[in-house]
Chains A and B, each alone.
Chain A
C-alpha cells in the first residue's frame, strides 16, 4: 500500500511542485538568482540610492550656488555634465536631485501601501455592501487621471515636499486597495479562512495574521512598480512647474529649465531626463522580475 506517512521526495508529481512554487517568499530570493531582469533593476537602483546618500560627499559643487561666469557650458573637466542657465553644476544638481526623487517616491508609496492595503483587506474580507461602497469610491478616484488629480492637489495645497508626497500617495491608494482586495476575495473562500472562523479566531486575527502575510508578496512587488510611477509623477509635476519650489534641485524641475533653452543647449534637458528614465526603469525592472518570480501562473504554464 502506498503510504502517505512519508515526506514526498524529489520525484513528487507536478501537482506537488505547483504547491511548492506558491511559497512566494522563497521565490523572492530565487528571483535574484534566476531572473536577470530583477538583478539588473536591483543593481541600478542600489547604485542610485548610494549616489543619492553620498551626494554631500561626492558632489563636486554646491547644487544651488550660482556662478554666472560658467553659464550654460557644455561638459568639461571642471563640470563633467556642464552647467545650467545660472552656472550651477549639472552633475551636483543631479546627485542632490536623486534624493528628492527617492524620498518622495518612497514616502508616498509607503503611505499608499499602508492605507490602501488596509482598505482593500477590509473591503475584501467583509464583502457585501461595505465592499461595494468602498470600491465604488476607490473606482471613482482610480478612474480620474492620476497626474491631473496630483496636479490639482499640489496646486491647491502648495508645492511643498510633504504636500507632494500626500498628493502622490492619494492617487496611489485606490490601486493598492484594488491590489489587496482581489487576492483577499479569492483567499476568503479558501478553506483555511473558513477553518480559522470555525476555530473561533477573531476577524482581526484572520485578516492580519493569516490573510496579510499571504497577500504581502504581491503587494511588495506592486509597491516597487508603483514607486516607479510615483517617481515619474513627481518628475512630471516638477516639469509642469508644481514640484518643490526652485532653487531646490529636482530632476523634473531641471528638465523644465533645460527645456526652456532646448534650442541652445539640449544637454541641459537630456541629462536629467536620462536620470529620471534610468531610475524609473530600474524600479520597473525590479518589480517586473519579482512579479514573474512570484506569479506561479506565468511560470509554470506550458
Chain B
C-alpha cells in the first residue's frame, strides 16, 4: 500500500516535471517575443530590452529553465505580466471557488447518475430505460454553455430565483449557496448524464455475470443481488469514468464560469490567454496538471476500496 502510494507519487512528480518542461519550451519556441507582445508593436527597443531583463528573458535558455523549475518548486511562479501581482496569489484566490463548484457538481452528478443508471439497467428496454437514455444523451450533447444559457434564461432571467451574475458579492452561506446553485446544477446535469450511461452499461454487464446467477441460485432477493452483489463490481468501471470525466468537468467549468460570470480558474485562464499573460499561463498549467495528477491518484486509491483484487503494485 505504502509502496503503491510512493510509486504513484513518483509518477506524479515525473508527470509534473514533464509537463512543466514542455510548457516552458513551447512558450519559448512560439513566435513572438513576450516582451514585445506585452508592450505592443509601438514600444521602443529600449523599453523592450528593459522588460526582457526584468523578465529574465535575456539570460541563456538553460538558466531560464533552471530558474523556472526552482521557482515552480518553491511556489514562486513569477508575477503576472498584466497585473504585476504574484501568479500564485492570483491562482490561490480563485482556486477555492472552482474546487467548490467542481466538487459539489461531482457529488450531485454521482448522486443523480448512479441510481438512474441502475434503474435503467434493471428495466432494460422498458420505459425507464428509454427515458433515461434520451435524457442522458441530451445531457451529454449539450455544450456546457448551451445548458448554462438555458438555465440562466429560465431560472435567473424569467423566474428570477437566482442571481444572473454569481459573482460572489454576498459572502453569507445562503448567498454563496444562491451563487453556487445554477452553475453547480449545470455541471452536475452533464456529469450525471455521463455517470448514468456508464452505470447502466456496467450494471448490464455485471448482471450477466456467472456470480450473479450464483447469488440468484442460492435464493438471494433481487434487491440484495443488485445492491450488494452487483453494485460493487459495477463501481469499478464507474470510478474509472468519474476520474476521466473530472477532466471534462474542469473543462466545462470554464464555460460555466463565463456564462454565470463566476470567479474561478476558468475566467482566470481565459483572461491570461486573451492578454497573452505567459507567466500567468504557466502557473495555470501547473495548477491544472497538479489537479489532474491528484485526481488520478485518488482514482487509483479508490479502486482498492472497491476491488480486493487490486494489489497496489
Contacts and interface: CB of A to CB of B under 8 A. Distances in A.
The answer on A and B forming one complex is yes
Interface of A: 37, 136, 140, 142-148, 151-152, 155-156, 228, 232, 235-236, 239-242, 252, 255, 259, 262-263, 266, 269-270, 273, 276-277, 280-281, 284-285, 288, 297-298, 301-302
Nearest to A291: B201
A236 B274 contact: no
B70 interface: no
Contacts of B27: 156
Secondary structure class of chain B's binding surface, majority of residues = helix
Contact of A284 (B141, B149, B289, B293): B141
Contact of A142 (B137, B208, B244, B273): B244
A240 B258 contact: yes
A298 B248 CA distance: 26
A273 B285 contact: no
Given A147-B252, A259-B145, 7 more contacts: A143-B247, A144-B288, A147-B254, A232-B143, A239-B145, A288-B137, A298-B205
A298 B251 contact: no
Contacts of B141: 228, 232, 277, 280-281, 284
A273 B137 contact: no
Nearest to B288: A148
A280 B141 CA distance: 5
A64 B281 CA distance: 34
A143 to B, nearest CB: 4
A270 B11 CA distance: 45
A156 B26 contact: yes
Contact of A156 (B30, B207, B274): B30
Nearest to B289: A144
Contacts of A147: 248, 251-252, 254-255
12 contacts: A142-B244, A143-B244, A144-B19, A145-B292, A146-B248, A235-B143, A239-B258, A240-B255, A255-B146, A280-B143, A285-B137, A298-B205
Contacts of B274: 155, 241
Contacts of B251: 145-148, 236
B233 interface: no
A273 B254 contact: no
Interface in B250-291: 250-252, 254-255, 258-259, 269-270, 273-274, 281, 285, 288-289
A143 B292 contact: yes
A148 to B, nearest CB: 6
A255 B149 contact: yes
Contacts of A259: 145, 149, 259
Most-contacted residue by chain B among A144, A252, A262 (CB, 10 A) = A144
Contacts of B270: 151, 240-241
Given A145-B251, A236-B144, A301-B208, A269 B149 contact: yes
Interface residues of B, number: 49
A144 B145 contact: no
Interface in B186-242: 201, 204-205, 207-208
Contacts of A241: 270, 274
A242 B19 contact: no
B250 A155 contact: no
A32 B169 CA distance: 53
Which 9 interchain pairs have the tightest Cβ spacing? A147-B251, A301-B208, A145-B251, A155-B273, A281-B141, A280-B141, A273-B146, A145-B247, A143-B292
Contact of A152 (B143, B255, B273): B273
Nearest to A140: B15
Contacts of B137: 281, 284-285, 288
A122 B208 CA distance: 32
A264 B256 CA distance: 21
B255 A239 contact: yes
A136 B17 CA distance: 14
A242 B274 CA distance: 9
A151 B295 contact: no
Nearest to A281: B141
A144 B292 contact: yes
B153 interface: yes
A70 B159 CA distance: 30
A273 B247 contact: no
Contacts of A146: 247-248, 251
A148 B288 CA distance: 9
B157 A266 contact: yes
B94 interface: no
A239 B258 CA distance: 9
A228 B139 CA distance: 13
B19 A239 contact: no
Nearest to B207: A301
Contacts of B281: 152
A298 B129 CA distance: 14
B14 to A, nearest CB: 9
A240 B143 contact: no
Given A145-B292, A236-B255, A152 B285 contact: yes
A261 B247 CA distance: 31
Given A236-B144, A240-B254, A301 B149 contact: no
Contact of A262 (B153, B204, B254, B273): B153
A152 B22 CA distance: 13
B103 interface: no
A37 B144 CA distance: 23
